[in-house]
Structure 1
Amino acid sequence: MQHRILFVCTGNTCRSPMAEAILKHKGLEGIEVKSAGIYAASGSEASPNAKQVLDDNNISHNHRSTLLSRDEVDWADLILTMTASHKYAIGQQHPRAIEKTFTLKEYVDEPGDPDVSDPYGGSKTTYEYTYKQLEKLIDKVIEKLKQ
């Protein structure tokens, strides 16, 4: 199983770095993972609450934000976005990538709201909720990739 997965959110400081760290932590053979942001400032650390929640779950992380560019899009064979608007933005900026771009929830056929909640600016509890949401969805991604 060889996959290069790119998680995308807005600023690449909350959701996508947490998703990247969660999937890396699983230590799966043949899976490479990166994250980027549609409007990221390159080089920023993950938000303090994102780092704290990862630490609380014993997940190692060493994150610097990356602005989504053609390099990341071309590198990935699967792009998983946190929201429908992120997916739309990728389709506008990188039309060739649309067939490999899905919202995280769409990819695993999760019903209801298509977006992963954005904890930006929220309390640690808000980040914990997003972390749990991401962990559950990533487990479903892994199951789907194994099929």
Structure 2
Amino acid sequence: MQRILFVCTGNTCRSPMAEAILKSKKIDGFEVKSAGIYAATGSEASAHAKKVLADHQIDHHHSSNLLASESVQWADLILTMTGSHKNAILHQFSETAGKVFTLKEFTGEQYDMDVVDPYGGSVAIYQETYQELDRLITKAIEKIQSSQ
């Protein structure tokens, strides 16, 4: 079982979309959760995130979670949306060294290591973030499966 934790800032846009995308692929051997570095526990995903997921026939009921040691310990792999998220996790949870990467770093991207935050943007911007996350998650799955 591969346990993946997606992390962003508030756990209302990028990481819940990433969690929903991976869950929607229904791949055996994967468990997935999401959390936020500065999340308020119990918030729903943003309206635009929910709309974009629904547009892709993904039903995901989300309640935000603040990143906590339980989630960090649960995860085999922690994939962040930005380098600053990665650095914050490494600073707060030094034991995560070796299992925390930006999503782009993990998938071998060579430039611009951050997934753009669509917060406050239009549905079109959320759609672009969804497309980027879907592409990166597909690459991450292929990498994980090829190393097992």
Asked if these proteins are the same fold (TM beyond 0.5), I'd say yes
| Partner SS, residue 58 of structure 1 | coil
| Partner SS, residue 72 of structure 1 | helix
- Amino acid in structure 1 at the alignment position of 2:68: S
Tell me the distance in 1 between the aligned counterparts of 2:67 and 2:100: 13
Count of aligned pairs between the two proteins? 146
CA deviation vs aligned residue, 1:35-90 (integer Å, no higher than 9, x gap): 00000000000000000000000011000000000000000000000000000000
Give the structure 2 partner of residue 45 of structure 1.
Answer: 44
CA deviation vs aligned residue, 1:2-53 (integer Å, no higher than 9, x gap): 2000000000000000000000000010100000000000000000000000
Q: What's the TM-score, normalizing by structure 2?
A: 0.98
* Consecutive unaligned residues in structure 2, runs of 5 or more: none
| Partner SS, residue 51 of structure 2 | helix
Give the structure 2 partner of residue 31 of structure 1.
Answer: 30
Contact 1:11 1:39 in 2 (8 A): yes
Tell me the distance in 1 between the aligned counterparts of 2:91 and 2:29: 30
Give the structure 2 partner of residue 9 of structure 1.
Answer: 8
Tell me the distance in 1 between the aligned counterparts of 2:123 and 2:109: 25
Instruction: Map 1:116-135 to 2 at 5 A.
Output: 116-135=115-134
The structural deviation recorded for 1:99 is 1.1
| Partner SS, residue 144 of structure 1 | helix
Tell me the distance in 2 between the aligned counterparts of 1:47 and 1:134: 16
| Partner SS, residue 79 of structure 1 | strand
Identity rate, percent: 62
Q: What's the TM-score, normalizing by structure 1?
A: 0.98
Tell me the distance in 2 between the aligned counterparts of 1:145 and 1:60: 25
Give the structure 1 partner of residue 136 of structure 2.
Answer: 137
Tell me the distance in 2 between the aligned counterparts of 1:62 and 1:111: 33
Contact 1:108 1:140 in 2 (8 A): yes
Give the structure 2 partner of residue 67 of structure 1.
Answer: 66
Cα root mean square deviation, aligned = 0.4
Runs of 4 or more, structure 1, over 4 Å off, are none
Tell me the distance in 2 between the aligned counterparts of 1:99 and 1:20: 21
Tell me the distance in 2 between the aligned counterparts of 1:87 and 1:36: 13
- Amino acid in structure 1 at the alignment position of 2:35: A
Contact 1:90 1:98 in 2 (8 A): no
| Partner SS, residue 32 of structure 2 | strand
- Amino acid in structure 1 at the alignment position of 2:121: G
Tell me the distance in 2 between the aligned counterparts of 1:127 and 1:111: 23
